[in-house]
Amino acid sequence: MTSKPKVTTCLWFDQNGEEAAKFYVSLFDNARIGHISRYGKNGRMPEGLAMVVTFDLAGTPYMALNGGPMYKLSEATSIVVQCENQAEIDRLWTALTADGGKEVMCGWLRDRFGLAWQIVPAQIGDWMSNPDPAVGGRVMAAVMGMVKIDIAALEKAARGS
């Protein structure tokens, strides 16, 4: 018997949760669709439409719920991806802003489904918690001037050069 996760984040979509989940899974090597349950006859949404799609992104479980138009995704919830290098940042940024996604600022974006993402370097936490507070200050100042994160510029800011 497979164990179910104790905690899962549920993302509310109007009717495109299955499309969103399949797109998100396509972005990560360690990702998969779990289970899809569909609306039946006399449901509150069209018969056959995915009601709930469970999926996993790099070990983190999510649920996409097609619940209708009454709630919208917002920046109040975002998915943070800690990237190993600039190529990964660039790849995810391009994919997530395509087809109607929107660049925001400081490594934040909204994808075409309205979900907010933070695409950041894995080492940002180390820079921000450096024992020398000036390092974190310089890195944060650099981040505040960026839209998509530039790791080389942040490394330079961390060094103070």
pLDDT digits over 74-100, tens only? 999 999 999 999 999 999 999 999 999
25-49: average pLDDT: 96
Could you give the count of Cα atoms lying within 13 Å of 70 in the half-sphere of its Cβ?
Answer: 5
For the chain, the domain total comes to: 2
CATH number assigned to the domain comprising residue 101: 3.10.180.10
Contacts of 113 (CB under 8 A, 6+ apart): 13, 16, 19, 20, 23, 73
pLDDT digits (tens, 9 = 90+) for 99-112: 999 999 999 999 99
Decide: helix, strand or coil at residue 105: coil
CA 113 to chain centre: 11
Where do we find the tokens 């999926």?
55
Q: Which two tokens stand for residue 87?
A: 């190529």
58 and 130 both lie in a single domain: no
Range of the domain at 11: 1-70
86 shares its domain with 45: no
* 11/63 same-domain check: yes
